[in-house]
Chains A and B, each alone.
Chain A
Amino acid sequence: MNDQVEDSTAQDNDAKTILVGAGVRLEGRIDGAEHADIAGTLSGTLKSSSVNIEGNGNFNGDMSGKEITISGYVEGNISSENFLTVNQSATIKGNIEYASLQVSYGAKIQGTLRHRGSVHSYAPEQTEINSEAEQVSE
């Protein structure tokens, strides 16, 4: 497998960083990272507190993190505990779970958006009584 884990710069800040450079293809499961910067292609599972999918970046699989920024292509599930930023150049196919979401005009999203903690913090006056539509799906 041609994975490229760059912590060779050996600064403390970079200790838990994974960088998949442009043109690099990586398959597998990544866990415990602080920063993940994907400019190449990553297939698999990614857990990192911050994730950045670059403009040319490609991600396939399940991704979870606190702060996630997407500028490239993502197919799969995204779960963000904190900020999820979807830039103009991004294309996402799949399910998105978020706490705070910003999408720039031009981004393409196909899938389901689900706000974290909606059940607790949102809509004390229950408007969902007669909506049997999309709500039940999960």
Chain B
Amino acid sequence: MSIFGSNEKKTEENTTYFFNVEKDRVNQSTLAKDIKIHGSIEAKDYIDFSGSITGTIKATTVNLKPSSYVKGTVTGDTVTIEGEVDGDIQAKDVYIKSTARIKGNIRYTNIDIQNGSIINADLFYSS
């Protein structure tokens, strides 16, 4: 490993994303705050969602930002929620952050809930 060159590149990558730093985030979709969707979004890899949607979101990694609002279904391997969800969440790993507000059903294998979040939901654990 060369000492200087590779290190610089790595730190650059690491600071770009707060969550789940991955090397090849080629297929990353970001949907900004002012987007409103009726319908469904599906992506293979990674969705960063800040808008509002009535419908479904599906991706391997779904990241619902603080301003996001979802009425419907969120499905993924890893789902991180900082916004508001009214509906069903289904994921292997569910991370609920302090700003989250959730109503509905959560189906999960692993769950992590931060202090401050407001959850009125039915939890279903499956291994």
Where the two chains meet, the residues of A that have a C-beta atom closer than 8 Å to any C-beta of B are: 83, 86, 100-115, 118, 122-123, 127-128, 131, 133-135
Contacts and interface: CB of A to CB of B under 8 A. Distances in A.
Given A115-B118, A133-B104, A135-B103, A102 B123 contact: no
B124 A102 contact: no
27 contacts: A83-B115, A86-B113, A100-B116, A101-B115, A101-B117, A102-B113, A102-B114, A103-B96, A103-B111, A108-B125, A109-B125, A110-B123, A110-B124, A110-B125, A111-B122, A111-B123, A113-B122, A114-B120, A115-B118, A115-B119, A122-B118, A127-B69, A127-B86, A127-B103, A128-B86, A131-B86, A134-B104
Most chain A beta carbons < 10 A, residue from B114, B117, B122: B122
B111 A105 contact: yes
A40 B114 CA distance: 28
Contacts of B113: 86, 101-103
A106 B112 CA distance: 7
Nearest to A117: B118
B82 to A, nearest CB: 16
Contact of B101 (A102, A105, A106, A123): A123
B105 interface: yes
Contacts of B116: 100
B4 to A, nearest CB: 36
Contact of A134 (B84, B112, B121): B121
A101 B96 CA distance: 11
A132 B110 CA distance: 27
B115 A112 contact: no
B105 A105 contact: no
Given A100-B115, A102-B115, A113 B120 contact: yes
